[in-house]
Structure 1
Amino acid sequence: MAVQWPLPPEHPIVTKPPLRLGVMASGSGSNFEALVQACRSGQLSAEVSLLIVNKPEAGALRRAEVLDVPAQVLDHRNYPSREALDRALVTSFRAAQVDLVVMAGWMRIVTQELIEAYPERLINIHPSLLPSFRGAKAIRQALEAGVTLTGCTAHLVELEVDTGPILVQAALPVLDGDSEASLSERIHQQEHRILPLAVSLAAQRLGLCAQG
């Protein structure tokens, strides 16, 4: 009960060597795990080299331990500004030699420090059909607006929140009786589907890969 555009390619988009990905997460880390599984299944020609969370209690850390992915905590409360946090992120990702950075549920506004360090290489996943319903409460906004169709968007990050070139979108219906929780669950399922393709398309835009 969802429509995706663009559709996945007939053959995987491959890179030689595989991409090294950095992932940023603030919550449970389900999109992070979906990326790891896509890499390990061969769906995505990449490996997740480093996960960074901004809260020590983030569930993504537990997933990283189970999945044996290197992880680091950069608690935003320990930094005097957003710029200082982003400089620390850049330092960590450069040390891990990552090619692309994915904001997989990163609930912090990023600054030019991170965007300029990874131009056209910083990807975000957002639970709406952008440009509609930007911001942290997108699913609630969609329900309050009474729309019958919503979805999720993977896009490149620019300085203005939830803007930037769109890579992939998936649309799904809002069902009668949907709550924020039920709609969120279905949107997250689509996020897991489109995020690996978004990474491949971002790499393809940069000339980092070729059609397999």
Structure 2
Amino acid sequence: MCAWGFKFEQYLTASSTDSVPNPDMQYNNCEAFYTVVKSQVGSHTLVYCGEVDAVPVNPDGSKGDHYVEFKTTSYSSLQRGSFKRFKLLKWWTQSVLAGVPEIVCGIRDDAGIVSKLQTYKTQDIPRIAGDIPGPWKPNVCFNFLDQLLTFIKSNVTEDNPRLVHLLEFSGRDATCTRLSLDSEYAFLHRWYTH
């Protein structure tokens, strides 16, 4: 099942504007296209990289001016409130922060066969999700992220690649513990940071 999304991307993408998709190629889930993005959340400036799936080709054959994200979902998940409550929230969050204006979704059966494409405009997703009880709201998501970043900035004050801060959440409370240098949670090898 994990490979279905990668194969879906192969059916919809080509390596250049003058070539065609080749779904017979063996997929490599380590290949990806990343973009570096700068965005503003409250008083915080973020610079990060995000994976994007494609740049569309215009009808005249020229490269488009924006990114597109590809997703798949089953027919049965479209019928559940959890699709709008959780999956659309995840898609929206990933796309809005990376500046991706549209998501092309392959609607598939339980065997992984896509039979319909549905395009979602990122800016419309909160409205689409809003007709369920207890929907998520973009302003609540951004406010949470702003508060989280403020909390992290106030607790992580030393710039040291060997130092790890462990963030833990319990209900509405968050704690930030400064771990010893080279703790078990360290993920950057010493050879990388020297």
TM value normalised by structure 2: 0.23
TM-score (norm 1): 0.22
Q: Larger Cα Rg: Structure 1 or Structure 2?
A: 2
- Report which of the two has the higher share of helix: 1
Structure scoring higher RCO (CA < 8 A, sep ≥ 6) equals: 1
